[in-house]
């Protein structure tokens, strides 16, 4: 009997199909969870409610991880379109940023991108910060989430430092922390949602603050 052709083996196709189905299910669950977290807050959003909104079983939602992890995934998907990517330089937005050869243009691109992310995630921030205040598990996820954002800022600034674009009279770690705080959603929420600034006003202020405190003088 002739050997079976590898091309006729249905397993790779089935594996790809299962992966696509799993990704589609996760996207549906995360989208449903995001709407509920934004509308009802963290405590009142249950896995059962998420399952009903997504049209899947409670077991399927549980298979996506703890509720705290789902909220973080919602923030990542809303902000960057992906979840779990440890290095922003692997994403289009990161590649586009480091492809810019002018420090002023790169700074302006960075601030515009940060503002855009905040505009798309600000509706979820109350669920994160409100929930973390009383839920120890979410508080741990929040700490890891913030640390991850700071690490992303460090990766970007390392590229800028190697190009000679940053101040050299301030410790690099301080430049990273300054950038992370200025570009944080907490600062955005304070300036825009609390103090009543427009997103455009925040963007202009953040651009100027980075120019004065992080980037080298022209």
DSSP string, 157-179: HHHHHHTT-B-SSS-HHHHHHHH
CA 24 to chain centre: 19
Q: How far is CA 214 from the centre of its chain?
A: 22
| Tens-digit pLDDT profile for residues 9-53 | 566 656 777 788 888 888 899 999 999 999 999 999 999 999 999
Q: 32 by DSSP, 3-state: which?
A: helix
CA dihedral sign of residues 24, 116, 75, 159: positive
Where do the domains of the chain lie, and which CATH numbers do they carry?
Answer: 8-65 (1.10.10), 84-218 (1.10.357.10)
d(CA 22, CA 27): 9
User: Across residues 184-212, what is the average pLDDT?
Assistant: 97
pLDDT digits (tens, 9 = 90+) for 66-117: 999 999 999 999 998 888 777 899 999 999 999 999 999 999 999 999 999 9
Average pLDDT of the chain, as a whole number: 91
Q: Which candidate, 183, 187, 134, places its Cα nearest to that of 156?
A: 183
Least confident of 13-22, 123-132, 153-162: 13-22
The pTM for the full model equals: 0.84
pLDDT the model gives residue 149: 93
- The DSSP letter of residue 193 is I
Read off the DSSP letter of residue 88: G
Question: Which residues, at least 6 apart from 159, have a Cβ–Cβ distance to it below 8 Å?
Answer: 89, 98
pLDDT value at residue 38 = 95
Residue 5's pLDDT is: 47
Model pLDDT, residue 16: 77
**Residue from 188, 187, 153, 144 nearest 172 by CA:** 153
Contact 124, 142 (CB under 8 A): no
User: pLDDT tens digits, residue range 59-73?
Assistant: 999 998 899 999 999
């Amino acid at each position: 009997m002739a050997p079976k052709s590898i091309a006729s083996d249905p397993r790779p196709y089935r594996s790809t199909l299962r992966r696509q189905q799993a990704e589609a299910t996760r996207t549906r669950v995360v989208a449903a969870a995001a709407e509920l977290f934004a509308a009802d807050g963290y405590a009142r959003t249950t896995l059962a409610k998420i399952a009903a909104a997504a049209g899947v079983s409670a077991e399927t939602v549980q298979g996506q991880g703890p509720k705290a992890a789902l909220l973080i995934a919602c923030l990542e998907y809303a902000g960057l379109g992906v979840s779990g990517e440890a290095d922003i330089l692997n994403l289009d937005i990161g590649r586009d940023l480091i492809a810019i050869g002018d420090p002023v243009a790169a700074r302006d691109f960075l601030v515009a991108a940060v503002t855009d992310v905040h505009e798309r995630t600000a509706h979820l921030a109350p669920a994160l910060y409100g929930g973390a205040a009383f839920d120890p598990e979410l508080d741990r996820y929040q700490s890891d989430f913030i640390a991850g954002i700071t690490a992303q800022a460090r990766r970007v600034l390392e590229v800028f430092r190697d190009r000679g674009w940053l101040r050299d009279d301030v410790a690099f770690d301080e430049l990273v922390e300054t950038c992370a705080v200025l570009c944080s959603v907490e600062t955005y929420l304070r300036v825009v949602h609390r103090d009543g600034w427009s997103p455009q006003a925040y963007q202009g202020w953040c651009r100027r603050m980075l120019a004065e405190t992080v980037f080298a003088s022209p």
